[in-house]
Amino acid sequence: MKEYTMRDYFYSLAEELTRCCAGSEVLLMNLSGEDSDFARFNKSLVRQAGTVTQRYLSLELIDGDRHATETFVLTGQKDNDLARANEVLTNLREQLPLTPPDPYLLYATEVNDTEQISDNRLGSTEDCLAAILQAGQGKDLVGIFAQGSQFAGFANSLGQRNWFDSHSFHFEWCFYAKNAPGDKAVKTGFAGFEWSDEDFARKVDDATKQLAILAQPAKTIDPGAYRVYLAPTALAEFVGLLAWGGFGVKSHRTKTTPLLKMIESDATMHESVNLSENTREGLAPNFTAAGFVKPDAVELIRAGRYGDCLVSPRSAKEYNQPVSAGSEAPQSLDLAAGRLADDDILSTLGEGIYANQLWYLNYSDMPAGRITGMTRFATFWVEGGKIVAPLNVMRFDETVFNALGTNLLALTERRDFLPSSETYEHRSVNSSRMPGAVIDDFRFTL
């Protein structure tokens, strides 16, 4: 079933199941699914290819302040799916008297129908794979490609109906440096809603140039503070760690947020930092599992100052706030672009470190907003505005208020769309849009 027929199928199931509610029962129904093509590459050859088609229906039965939930797979055969759904409803009804009352249960009771259906601008999977194989000729390419539709639906027994779908692709890959000493690779990615041979060629060209540099002997520098360029993928790791408690109203009220200084000490970031949860342009549904419609965007940081928190239904009940998110971790994180052109990145960096990737990030001092982590894959030493040597792995330890505040020199005008490549149970709907950043006195400790 394609997504537009899946919407109708889901709504027809919802009508049937609504009739099964008795007394004061309220039923919430959530559908999630995808039709995705996948291909894995190793040594510049397709090693595994396939298509994933899956649909899951979650039923949450509510009576007063008690609720119970169960999820099952839809087959597409209406009689079978209705029989399974009725069996689930019977199980949930039996569970309700045994569940404790939930003081923070909150679900939408005002009907707010929405429909967001994106245009499918994806090219054929075969054409994309052909372009990838061409790019890998003469190289050792390792990676994973995925593209297709992802969709979600909400319905409740109060009559509300919501539908969302998106069509996207992502290709995450490495060029492995066969002749370089040690284990070296250039990792990069390409993603979006419409494949562009020109944009892909630019990515491949950049990675190929960096691959040649990896063949040179690696340089080791002393710990200390250096000017650094964080490419969009590296900046996404750094900023993305703030999703661990940085933006939720509960973490702010309980003072467990890494941005505590922005609340208690009036700390700020650079005025060019504008960070938002950009649901409108992301991959995640624009409604929550409880039926609340999300705003198109939530301004988390405005011109370097803290803006609005993400508020989940449970926190909305606890703190008497309007719902703005399904959970209090961003799913569509968006950092506004700056003014630095790509051609000026190396000259602005001058002498310092060019970091494509960061990993193993964690908080070394959460209340102070201090983050530690390591460089990964192709990291380079720059002198005189030119990349001169690969760098050995280093550990950094820096606060977000330095990196995105007093020491931030520039953000790039070009941003990368970075969907999560996680495929646990299904393709992730998390994504970010990030520029690159030139930062002064970024501290490396090892």
Q: Tell me which of 155, 186, 214 is where a domain ends.
A: 214
Phi-psi region of 369 (alpha: psi -120 to 50; beta: other; left: phi over 0): left
Other Cβ atoms less than 10 A from the Cβ of 346: the count is 18
230/362 same-domain check = yes
**Same domain flag for 158 and 42:** yes
When divided into structural domains, the chain yields a total of 2
Rounded mean pLDDT, 302-331: 97
Statement to judge: residues 206 and 231 lie in one domain: no
Instruction: Note whether 117 and 245 are same-domain residues.
Output: no
* pLDDT value, residue 233: 96
Domain-located, residue 170: yes
270 CB contacts (<8 Å, ≥6 apart)? Answer: 304, 404, 405, 406, 408
Alpha carbons 177 and 184: distance in angstroms, whole number: 5
199 and 246 inside one domain: no
Structure tokens at 278: 């950009």
Boundary of a domain, candidates 214, 241, 257: 214
Q: Averaged over 412-416, what is the pLDDT?
A: 97
* pLDDT 10s digits, 200-209: 999 999 999 9
pLDDT at 2 over 50: no
- Mean pLDDT in residue range 289-318: 98
Residues 84/56, Cβ–Cβ less than 8 Å: no
Give residue-wise pLDDT tens across range 332-372: 999 999 999 999 999 999 999 999 999 999 999 999 999 99
Same domain, 189 and 90: yes
- Considering the domain architecture, whether residues 9 and 101 belong to the same structural domain is answered as yes
- Per-residue confidence (pLDDT) for residue 190, from 0 to 100: 96
188 in a structural domain? yes
Distance CA(137)–CA(123), nearest Å, equals: 22
Query: Do 425 and 383 sit in the same domain of this protein?
Result: yes
Residue 327 lies in a domain: no
Is pLDDT at 65 greater than 50 in this prediction?
yes
In this prediction the pTM is 0.94
Sole residue written with tokens 């299904």: 426
Q: Is 313 part of any domain?
A: no
Q: What angle do CA 166, 171, 173 make, to 5 degrees?
A: 160
Same domain, 18 and 161: yes
**What is the model's pLDDT at position 67?**
98
228 and 143, same domain (yes or no): no
pLDDT at position 184: 87
Residue 355: name the closest of 415, 414, 395 by CA. 395
The answer to the question of residue 191 being in a domain is yes
Question: Within 13 Å and on the Cβ side, how many CA atoms surround 446?
Answer: 7
Judge if 230 and 104 occupy the same domain: no
For residue 143, pLDDT beyond 80: yes
User: Which pLDDT does position 3 carry in this prediction?
Assistant: 45
300-328: average pLDDT: 97
Distance between CA atoms of residues 180 and 185, nearest Å: 9
Domain that holds residue 196: 3-214
Provide the pLDDT for residue 1.
43
Question: What value does the mean pLDDT take over residues 235-255?
Answer: 96
62-65's contacts with Cβ under 8 Å and 24+ in sequence apart are 62/25, 62/26, 62/27, 62/28, 62/105, 62/107, 63/23, 63/24, 63/25, 63/26, 63/96, 64/24, 64/101, 65/101, 65/102, 65/103, 65/105
In angstroms, rounded to a whole number, what is the distance separating the alpha carbons of residues 282 and 290? 20
Instruction: Answer with the one of 214, 246, 279 that is the final residue of a domain.
Output: 214
52 and 34 in contact (C-beta within 8 Å)?
A: yes
Query: What is the arithmetic mean of pLDDT over 160-177?
Result: 96
The per-residue pLDDT for 376 is 87
CATH code for the domain in which residue 14 is found: 3.30.2290.10
- Cβ neighbours of residue 272 closer than 8 Å, sequence gap 6 or more: 303, 304, 336, 338, 408, 411
Residues 261 and 399 grouped into a single domain: yes
> What percentage of the chain carries pLDDT values higher than 70?
98
Tens-place pLDDT, residues 366-386: 999 999 999 988 999 999 999
Dist. CA 239–CA 154, nearest whole Å? 31
Average pLDDT score over the chain: 95
